[in-house]
Amino acid sequence: MLEKIIDIINSIIWSPVLVVVLIAAGIFLSYKTRFIQITRIGLMVKSLFGSRNNATSKGITSFQAFCIALSGRVGTGNIVGVASAIGFGGPGAVFWMWLIAFFGAATAYTESTLAQIYKFKHNGVFRGGPFAYIHIGLGHKKIGITFAIATIIGYGTLLPAVQANGVSSAMQTAFNIPPIYAGLVLATLVGLVVIGGIKRISKVASIVTPFMALGYITLAMIVIFFHINDIPNIITIIFKEAFGVGALGGGIIGSTIMMGVKRGIFSNEAGQGGGAIVSASADVPHPAQQGLAQAFSVYIDTLLVCTVTALMILSSGCYNIIDSQTNTIIVTNALELGTNYPQYTQAAVNTVFNHTGAQFVGIALVFFVFTTIMAYYFYSESALTYIFHHSGTPDNPRKEKICIRFGQIVLLSAVVFGSTNGADLTWKIGDIGVGLTTWINVVALFLLYPKAIKALNDYLNNK
């Protein structure tokens, strides 16, 4: 019964209309920013290190905000999410992930710049995000509060369950660790960090995130090197299947596009609003600087980390294609894997590292998911502080602290819940969380984008 209800909600939120709106928003904002994802790549990188070297009492550095946002983007979506996109959408889904990332970079710039423009100071620290620019920029307080509540529900409960499920599944395969134990250990590690608040989260993210991303990319490149002769053909297949002209024909073209877009958005968060929430907390000289930094994080997430995962899986042939309606295999490349798409990446690594792929991927997922859930907590706490700051009642620090502690308990409970429940159910729940915030945020971006364009022009003229 629960799964049927979730399916109905999912079909409403993730209708084809949302896919069209997301792509249209990315194309439109790319045009308005004069395709900064191509013309301003150098400035994006420079923006990461152009602010103060150390975090101030008012906020965190641009680089720390970048690392937190990147930790939110680089998670189980880069490993399990890519595998599910290929499993249910075929190789062509990878192209649509690339496309949504390319145009999503302009979306990420816009939302993060707006977050800087409309940030507010709460208890002496910068906070903000879509809920703030919807409220302050558009003058719609009720919608801002609605977005904040959706953020708390999505990032504070639904999405952590998805991330934890990826870890528990991988650790059970790799080390035969029961899911409940994996969930409890992960919840404990996350709890030790989030209790320390924004400063501790930013410090841990700035150390762990670059390390984990570089380590995983290095591992993936080694696997790809051993299959290098297959890469040209794999690239051709990706482009052909993306438009229904490959071996599969147009049989699953709808699923190909939908899975590519959904998993691309889940992974890079462009348009979803998460990166904007972190961006508001950065103490930078100019709003556009943080917007450019966040645009670059989309590239690292999807065009780099997701791509190496996809190339590993496809070049090694460790995948099957599954009918999303009947959950039956329609194309068999790795019979032994069946419909168990979470193991596609592990099997791909095994082709080079002789039965140690499960261990490698399991450890990588622990780091990925650990930092991602930290970022999710950051988002939900920021939404909670917004509600308290703009509630219209006198500040009540004690009540706010109680609510924050309760939110921490709920998030950690979601981690344990997700680790002990099936992947299909948790992914569907996660999709609802992504869709809830995306719908509201994209509409706001269409209405407020001129402010972000004005900030970009000002920054380029005076930098």
The pLDDT tens digits of the residues spanning 422-461 come to: 656 666 776 776 777 788 899 999 999 999 999 999 998 8
DSSP 186-199: HHHHHHHHHTTHHH
Name the pLDDT band for 59 (thresholds 50, 70, 90). Answer: low
Helix (H) or strand (E) holding 281: none
Give me the phi and psi of 129, to 5 degrees please.
145, -165
- pLDDT greater than 80 at residue 71: no
CA 21 and chain centroid, separation: 18
Tell me the C-alpha distance between 320 and 210, whole Å: 32
Token digits of residue 116 = 């800087």
pLDDT confidence of residue 312: 93
Tell me the C-alpha distance between 162 and 419, whole Å: 8
Name the pLDDT band for 52 (thresholds 50, 70, 90). Answer: very low
Tell me the C-alpha distance between 179 and 161, whole Å: 12
Q: Say which amino acid occupies 305.
A: V
The pLDDT tens digits of the residues spanning 318-368 come to: 888 887 777 778 887 877 777 777 788 888 988 888 777 778 777 877 888
Helix ranges (DSSP H) in 157-196: 159-175, 179-194
Any residues with CB less than 8 A from the CB of 117 and at least 6 apart, and which? 133, 137, 287, 451, 452, 455
- CA atoms within 13 Å, Cβ hemisphere of 332: 6
Residues 19-23: what's their mean pLDDT?
Answer: 82
pLDDT confidence of residue 423: 58
The pLDDT tens digits of the residues spanning 79-107 come to: 777 888 888 888 899 998 898 888 988 99
Task: Output 310-313 pairs: Cβ under 8 A, ≥24 positions apart.
Answer: 310/82, 310/85, 310/86, 310/91, 310/94, 310/97, 310/238, 311/220, 311/224, 311/231, 311/234, 312/220, 312/223, 312/224, 312/227, 312/345, 312/348, 312/349, 313/82, 313/83, 313/86, 313/344, 313/345, 313/348
Tell me the C-alpha distance between 180 and 245, whole Å: 44
Lowest pLDDT segment from 152-156, 214-218, 261-265, 326-330: 261-265
pLDDT confidence of residue 430: 66
Token digits of residue 389 = 């700051």
- Rounded to the nearest integer, the mean pLDDT of the chain is 83
Helix (H) or strand (E) holding 57: none
pLDDT confidence of residue 75: 66
Q: Please check whether residue 37 is in contact with residue 30, taking contact to mean a CB–CB distance below 8 angstroms.
A: yes
Any residues with CB less than 8 A from the CB of 67 and at least 6 apart, and which? 202, 205, 206, 209, 210
DSSP 100-138: HHHHHHHHHHHHHHHHHHT-EEETTEEE-SHHHIIIIIH
Residues 116-126: what's their mean pLDDT?
Answer: 87
CA 114 and chain centroid, separation: 19
Tell me the C-alpha distance between 88 and 126, whole Å: 41
- pLDDT greater than 90 at residue 125: no
